[in-house]
């Protein structure tokens, strides 16, 4: 084929292609034209500077609009709300109206972004609070304290207490409609020494001018007012029923109040028990103190998550004997207070049982109360009867040093029997625990009470003390980590001396337990 023939053939092919295109249906022409425009736009975008770049999200409205145009009839239009896609609302017309709720959302969103100015051109900013950081008051309990007084135990927002000026009003409302309510200002006490976290413990004392005596049922209301609190523009008052009293309940209280000889001589109010506690250490502690305090004693233990099944097996025989009461306080974990709200639970214990015992003790389950051999707990407390409160000296014991002679038989010995080395470092302030005559006490602490009527003494050295095996209650391993064949040793910079006081009475405690509840706990493990 000559060069002229090739040229003629190419010209015929070109004319044929063009003819085919222009003879196609109108839809094909529209598609080809749209593609040509699209490729042209893509080519131009490559030469635009970065600040003029268009993202794929910016093209979404155009894409959806094109999709709507391609559908031929109204029935083919997809059910798309204009505000579902950013930027589409400006493209919508009356055919696709915006709902009233969507209009409201759009208006609010726009107003939030608007910054108003005053006549001087100064920008005015706004603050819009949502929700609440902490509750105003969390009620645990309320108890009658006398013929005309009550105690309300609860938690309050710590920032509100520290930085605000909340007030509390008590109102007694008789069920008899012919009797008028009685109102008095509540006096708040803060017994946790500032240890609170999100919440702090608040004890409200409600003392009325006249006695609230029986004969009719009634309710004690508490009006807790924030007085601005974190928002000085607000003054919110929460009113709730703190106590409902029936006539028979007043009669029971009146009988306890007038009873000169209470049911118990010695009562224990325990702090919150939490964690993986050692059943064996709990077993030793209960057996020891039931023997130490005697028949007219009782122990209240608060379960904040530590009374697991094996610990419960240890407590059950003593619960059945009437020596131990177990209270489930796990719900308090919802409210972030100091050490599982131990200040709150000991105050509840104080006011709940204050008329049932002569003396009430506050200490922990890794601490063992002791009096010298020539005295008894009864004789010691008789000598301190003029005091409302006394504190108890600490004897800190090593939680890992044991005698070498116990190496092969330490697994058979109880914890306080084999941990015999006492910390004798001088110049250190040791924590003290305490006991009170509860009728004269209005709030409880962990180491002492600051709200009492009567005298307090700290001069009890040589009279009464407690051996402290710190950390052993939550350790389920063998406590003996180092065995020593000496009466003195310095370990990790701390001097220790051998003190076998508790070791010498271990046999007596074991025999007492066997006599009281039998061999049921003989197979208890760490």
Beta strands 264-273 and 187-189: pairing type? unpaired
User: By the 8 A CB rule, do 366 and 230 touch?
Assistant: no
| Number of DSSP helices (H) and strands (E) in the chain, helices first | 13, 22
pLDDT over 90 percentage in the chain: 68
Q: Which residue did the predictor score with more confidence, 279 or 58?
A: 279
pLDDT of residue 88: 40
pLDDT at 279: 97
Q: What is the mean predicted confidence (pLDDT) over 151-177?
A: 95
pLDDT at 407: 93
Average pLDDT over residues 329-355: 97
- pLDDT (0 to 100) of residue 44: 67
Residue 11: band (very low, low, confident or very high) from pLDDT cuts 50, 70, 90: low
pLDDT (0 to 100) of residue 72: 42
* Signed CA dihedral, 313, 314, 317, 318: sign only: negative
Tokens of 472: 């052993």
Kindly report the number of other CB atoms within 10 A of residue 512's CB atom.
15
Arithmetic mean of pLDDT over the chain: 86
Question: Which of 8-12, 64-68, 237-241 has the least mean pLDDT?
Answer: 64-68
Asked if 148 and 198 count as a contact pair (C-beta separation under 8 A), the reply is no
What b/e sequence results for 5-28 when a residue is b if at least 16 CB atoms lie within 10 Å of its CB, and e otherwise? eeeeeeeeeeeeeeeeeeeeeeee
Element (H, E) at 235: none
Q: What is the pLDDT of residue 131?
A: 85
Residue 478, pLDDT score? 93
The predicted structure's pLDDT at residue 1: 55
Per-residue confidence (pLDDT) for residue 329, from 0 to 100 = 97
In this prediction the pTM is 0.77
Q: Is the pLDDT of residue 114 over 70?
A: no
**pLDDT at res. 18:** 46
Please enumerate in sequence order all residues whose Cβ is within 8 A of that of 418, keeping only pairs 6 or more positions apart, or say none.
402, 403, 406, 410, 479, 480, 503
Percent of the chain whose predicted confidence (pLDDT) is above 70: 79
Q: Cα(389)–Cα(385) distance, rounded to whole angstroms? A: 9
Catalogue the long-range contacts made by 504-511 (C-beta closer than 8 Å, 24 or more residues apart): 506/413, 506/414, 506/416, 506/417, 508/291, 509/284, 509/287, 509/288, 509/291, 509/414, 510/287, 510/414
Given a cut of 70, whether residue 111 has pLDDT beyond it is no
Distance CA 368, CA 297 (A): 15
Q: Average the pLDDT over each of 217-231, 295-309, 358-372 and give the range with the smallest value.
A: 217-231
According to DSSP, the residues that pair with 490 across neighbouring strands are 495
Residue range 48-87, pLDDT digits in tens: 655 444 544 444 444 444 444 344 444 444 444 444 434 4
Confidence at 127, pLDDT banded by 50, 70, 90:
confident
Which residues, at least 6 apart from 186, have a Cβ–Cβ distance to it below 8 Å? 152, 167, 168, 169, 170, 204, 205, 206, 222
The reported pLDDT for the residue numbered 272 is: 96
């Amino acid at each position: 084929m000559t060069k002229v023939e090739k040229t003629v053939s190419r010209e015929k092919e070109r004319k044929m292609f063009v003819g085919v295109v222009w003879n196609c249906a109108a839809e094909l022409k529209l598609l080809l034209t749209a593609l040509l425009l699209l490729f042209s736009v893509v080519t131009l975008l490559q030469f635009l500077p970065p600040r003029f770049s268009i993202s794929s999200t910016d093209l979404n409205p155009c894409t959806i609009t094109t999709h709507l145009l391609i559908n031929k009839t109204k029935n083919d239009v997809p059910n798309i709300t204009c505000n579902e896609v950013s930027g589409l609302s400006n493209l919508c017309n009356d055919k696709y109206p915006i709902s009233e709720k969507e209009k409201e959302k759009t208006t609010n969103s726009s107003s939030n972004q608007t910054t108003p100015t005053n006549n001087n051109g100064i920008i005015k900013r706004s603050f819009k609070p949502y929700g609440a950081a902490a509750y105003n008051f969390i009620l645990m309990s309320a108890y009658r304290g006398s013929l005309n007084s009550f105690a309300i135990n609860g938690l309050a927002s710590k920032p509100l207490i520290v930085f605000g000026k909340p007030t509390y009003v008590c109102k007694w409302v008789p069920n008899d409609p012919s009797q008028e309510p009685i109102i008095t200002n509540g006096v708040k006490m803060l017994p946790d020494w500032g240890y609170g976290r999100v919440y702090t413990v608040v004890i409200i004392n409600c003392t009325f001018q006249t006695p609230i005596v029986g004969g009719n049922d009634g309710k004690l209301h508490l009006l807790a007012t924030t007085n601005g609190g974190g928002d000085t523009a607000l003054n919110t008052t929460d009113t709730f029923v703190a106590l409902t009293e029936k006539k028979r309940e007043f009669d029971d209280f009146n009988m306890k109040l007038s009873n000169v000889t209470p049911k118990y001589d010695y009562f224990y109010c325990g702090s919150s028990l939490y964690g993986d506690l050692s059943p064996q250490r709990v077993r030793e502690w209960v057996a020891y103190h039931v023997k130490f305090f005697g028949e007219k004693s009782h122990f209240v233990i608060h379960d904040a998550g530590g009374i697991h099944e094996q610990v419960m097996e240890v407590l059950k025989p003593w619960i059945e004997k009437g020596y131990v009461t177990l209270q489930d306080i796990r719900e308090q974990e919802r409210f972030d207070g100091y050490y599982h709200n131990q200040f709150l639970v000991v105050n509840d214990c104080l006011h709940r049982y204050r008329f049932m015992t002569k003396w009430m003790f506050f200490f922990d389950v890794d601490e063992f109360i002791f009096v010298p051999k020539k005295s008894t707990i009864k004789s010691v407390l008789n000598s301190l009867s003029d005091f409302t409160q006394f504190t108890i000296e600490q004897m800190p014991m090593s939680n890992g040093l044991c005698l070498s002679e116990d190496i092969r038989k330490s697994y058979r010995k109880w914890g306080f029997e084999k941990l015999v080395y006492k910390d004798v470092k001088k110049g250190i302030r040791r924590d003290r625990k305490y006991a009170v005559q509860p009728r004269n006490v209005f709030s409880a602490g962990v180491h002492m009470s600051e709200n009492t009527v009567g005298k307090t003494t700290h001069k009890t050295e040589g009279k009464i003390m407690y051996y402290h095996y710190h950390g052993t209650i939550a350790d389920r391993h063998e406590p003996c980590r180092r065995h020593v064949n000496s009466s003195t040793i310095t370990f990790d910079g701390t001097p220790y001396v051998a003190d076998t006081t508790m070791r010498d009475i271990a046999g007596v405690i074991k025999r007492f337990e066997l006599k009281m509840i039998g061999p049921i706990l003989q197979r208890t493990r760490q």
